[in-house]
Amino acid sequence: QVQLQESGPRLVKPSETLSLTCNVSGGSIDIFHWSWIRLGAGKGLEWIGNIHSGGRYTYNPSLNRRVTMSVDTSKNQVSLILHSVIGADTAVYYCARDEGGGGWLYWGQGILVTVSS
Protein backbone atom coordinates (compact mmCIF):
# COMPACT_ATOMS: atom_id res chain seq x y z
CA GLN A 1 0.00 0.00 0.00
CA VAL A 2 1.45 3.32 -1.09
CA GLN A 3 1.73 5.84 1.74
CA LEU A 4 2.72 9.50 1.60
CA GLN A 5 3.84 11.67 4.51
CA GLU A 6 4.46 15.42 4.39
CA SER A 7 6.97 17.03 6.72
CA GLY A 8 8.53 20.42 7.29
CA PRO A 9 8.26 23.60 9.36
CA ARG A 10 4.74 24.47 10.40
CA LEU A 11 5.40 28.17 10.91
CA VAL A 12 7.03 30.41 8.32
CA LYS A 13 7.55 34.16 8.48
CA PRO A 14 6.20 36.42 5.73
CA SER A 15 8.62 36.94 2.83
CA GLU A 16 10.56 33.82 3.79
CA THR A 17 10.62 30.39 2.14
CA LEU A 18 8.27 27.47 2.77
CA SER A 19 9.97 24.11 2.34
CA LEU A 20 8.18 20.76 2.54
CA THR A 21 9.12 17.16 1.85
CA CYS A 22 6.88 14.26 0.91
CA ASN A 23 8.21 10.84 1.83
CA VAL A 24 6.76 8.01 -0.24
CA SER A 25 6.69 4.47 1.12
CA GLY A 26 5.19 1.20 -0.08
CA GLY A 27 6.21 1.85 -3.66
CA SER A 28 8.76 3.59 -5.82
CA ILE A 29 8.34 7.17 -6.97
CA ASP A 30 9.69 6.10 -10.36
CA ILE A 31 7.48 6.51 -13.47
CA PHE A 32 4.90 8.60 -11.63
CA HIS A 33 4.12 12.28 -11.39
CA TRP A 34 3.70 13.76 -7.92
CA SER A 35 1.47 16.71 -7.16
CA TRP A 36 1.33 19.28 -4.41
CA ILE A 37 -2.13 20.60 -3.55
CA ARG A 38 -3.23 22.97 -0.82
CA LEU A 39 -6.39 23.87 1.06
CA GLY A 40 -6.43 27.41 2.39
CA ALA A 41 -8.53 28.51 5.33
CA GLY A 42 -11.99 29.33 4.07
CA LYS A 43 -10.89 28.47 0.56
CA GLY A 44 -11.09 25.52 -1.75
CA LEU A 45 -8.46 23.16 -3.05
CA GLU A 46 -5.68 24.58 -5.22
CA TRP A 47 -3.27 22.59 -7.35
CA ILE A 48 0.27 23.93 -6.93
CA GLY A 49 2.01 21.79 -9.51
CA ASN A 50 3.49 18.40 -10.21
CA ILE A 51 6.82 16.81 -10.97
CA HIS A 52 7.77 13.57 -12.69
CA SER A 53 10.30 11.23 -11.12
CA GLY A 54 12.57 12.12 -14.03
CA GLY A 55 12.49 15.79 -13.04
CA ARG A 56 10.07 17.24 -15.58
CA TYR A 57 7.63 19.60 -13.87
CA THR A 58 4.52 21.69 -14.44
CA TYR A 59 3.48 24.49 -12.13
CA ASN A 60 0.21 26.32 -11.66
CA PRO A 61 0.65 29.56 -13.64
CA SER A 62 -0.70 31.56 -10.70
CA LEU A 63 2.20 30.38 -8.51
CA ASN A 64 4.81 29.65 -11.17
CA ARG A 65 7.25 32.37 -10.21
CA ARG A 66 7.43 31.30 -6.58
CA VAL A 67 7.39 27.49 -6.82
CA THR A 68 10.20 25.00 -7.13
CA MET A 69 9.71 21.25 -6.97
CA SER A 70 12.33 18.52 -6.94
CA VAL A 71 12.63 14.75 -6.57
CA ASP A 72 15.17 12.56 -4.83
CA THR A 73 14.71 9.05 -6.17
CA SER A 74 17.38 7.66 -3.83
CA LYS A 75 15.29 8.73 -0.84
CA ASN A 76 11.88 8.24 -2.50
CA GLN A 77 11.08 11.87 -1.70
CA VAL A 78 9.47 14.81 -3.43
CA SER A 79 10.02 18.36 -2.27
CA LEU A 80 8.21 21.68 -2.54
CA ILE A 81 9.67 25.13 -2.10
CA LEU A 82 7.47 28.21 -2.10
CA HIS A 83 9.37 31.49 -2.06
CA SER A 84 8.37 34.87 -0.64
CA VAL A 85 5.36 33.58 1.28
CA ILE A 86 2.47 35.77 2.37
CA GLY A 87 -0.47 35.23 4.70
CA ALA A 88 -2.58 33.85 1.88
CA ASP A 89 -0.14 30.94 1.63
CA THR A 90 -1.33 29.68 5.01
CA ALA A 91 -2.87 26.32 4.17
CA VAL A 92 -2.85 22.59 4.61
CA TYR A 93 -0.40 21.25 2.05
CA TYR A 94 -0.89 17.79 0.56
CA CYS A 95 1.27 15.67 -1.67
CA ALA A 96 -0.47 13.13 -3.89
CA ARG A 97 0.43 10.65 -6.61
CA ASP A 98 -0.69 12.13 -9.91
CA GLU A 99 -2.21 9.63 -12.35
CA GLY A 100 -2.73 12.12 -15.15
CA GLY A 101 -6.29 12.03 -16.43
CA GLY A 102 -7.19 9.71 -13.54
CA GLY A 103 -6.43 12.23 -10.86
CA TRP A 104 -5.05 11.34 -7.44
CA LEU A 105 -5.80 8.16 -5.55
CA TYR A 106 -3.01 8.30 -2.98
CA TRP A 107 -2.66 11.33 -0.71
CA GLY A 108 -0.61 12.30 2.29
CA GLN A 109 -2.44 13.29 5.46
CA GLY A 110 -1.52 16.94 4.90
CA ILE A 111 0.51 19.42 6.90
CA LEU A 112 -0.75 22.77 8.14
CA VAL A 113 1.68 25.57 7.43
CA THR A 114 1.00 28.97 8.94
CA VAL A 115 2.58 32.14 7.59
CA SER A 116 2.91 34.60 10.42
CA SER A 117 5.51 36.81 12.07
Residues of this chain that bind other proteins (CB under 8 A): 35, 37, 39, 44-47, 50, 58, 60-61, 94, 96, 99-105, 107-110
* Least distance between other proteins and beta carbon 34 (Å): 13
* Least distance between other proteins and beta carbon 31 (Å): 18
* Least distance between other proteins and beta carbon 50 (Å): 8
Q: What does the alpha-carbon distance between residue 43 and residue 74 come to, in Å, rounded to a whole number? A: 35
Q: Are 36 and 69 in contact (CB under 8 A)?
A: yes
List the one residue out of 5, 111, 23 whose CA is nearest residue 73.
23
